[in-house]
Amino acid sequence: MSSERDAQFHDFVLARRAGLVRTATLLTAGNAHLAEDLVQSTLTKLYLAWPAFQRAHSPDGYVRRVLVNVLVDERRRLWWRRERPTAELPDRPHPGESGPPGELDERLRTALRELPPRMRAAVVFRYFYDLDVAETADALGCSQGTVKSQTARALDRLRAALQARTSEQRTFLRQGVTS
């Protein structure tokens, strides 16, 4: 029985891991290293709860919920408040480099990073994955009203952050022209 379970889980990982990494990358606002860690933790939790996962009415919703819970748990760790993992050192910019097609704009990635994890998850599921309010509520383990309010607040914060960065860039450019 265990070997059948292992084979089923192995097939699941082969089929779904890449999609989980994409989702986790969005949920972490582009932090690929943290995304890999989240996926590994999610897969570990899924393996341990494999019978419950197989009985789930919505397997996709079950996986999304586990992924979000792992993200929230990761953010709650004490070390998170002191340490910020990053793939690139901040003192080494890469001017002129652009990422692969479909990669998040750096301003948007930064603005997403500033959102709390559940708020970020609501935006990612609603707008990057085009889930409806009910599916997003299921993934987050909350009410539909909470999804609506979290999404509205997140969009307000994103707009404000993006507008502030645009204003800062304009000011910087104007100062450079007048110097």
CB 75 within 8 A of CB 69: no
Identify the CA nearest to 124 among candidates 60, 46, 29. 29
> What pLDDT, on a 0 to 100 scale, did the predictor assign at position 109?
85
Whole-angstrom distance, CA of residue 127 vs CA of residue 151: 10
Q: What band does 95 get if pLDDT is binned at 50, 70 and 90?
A: very low
Q: What band does 162 get if pLDDT is binned at 50, 70 and 90?
A: confident
CB 135 within 8 A of CB 62: no
Q: Which of 28-42, 75-89, 154-168 has the highest mean pLDDT?
A: 28-42
Mean pLDDT, all residues of the chain: 81
pTM above the 0.85 mark?
Answer: no
Cβ neighbours for 136, distance < 8 A, ≥ 6 positions apart? 122, 125, 126, 147, 151
Of the listed ranges 11-20, 33-42, 97-106, 122-131, the least confidently predicted one is: 97-106
